[in-house]
Amino acid sequence: MPLILKGTRTARKCPEDGCNGMLIIRQNGKTKQHFLGCENYPKCKHTEPLPEDVKMVAMGAKRLPGF
Q: Which residues contact 38 (CB under 8 A, 6 or more apart)?
A: 14, 16, 19, 21, 22, 23, 24, 44, 45, 46, 47
CB atoms under 10 Å from CB of 66, counted, come to 4
Domains of the chain, residue spans: 9-58
Is 63's pLDDT higher than 70? no
Query: Taking the model in full, what pTM does it have?
Result: 0.74
> Would you say how long the chain is, in residues?
67
The CATH number of domain 9-58 is 2.60.40: no
pLDDT of residue 1: 45
pLDDT tens digits along 3-49 = 567 778 888 899 999 999 999 989 899 998 889 999 999 999 999 99
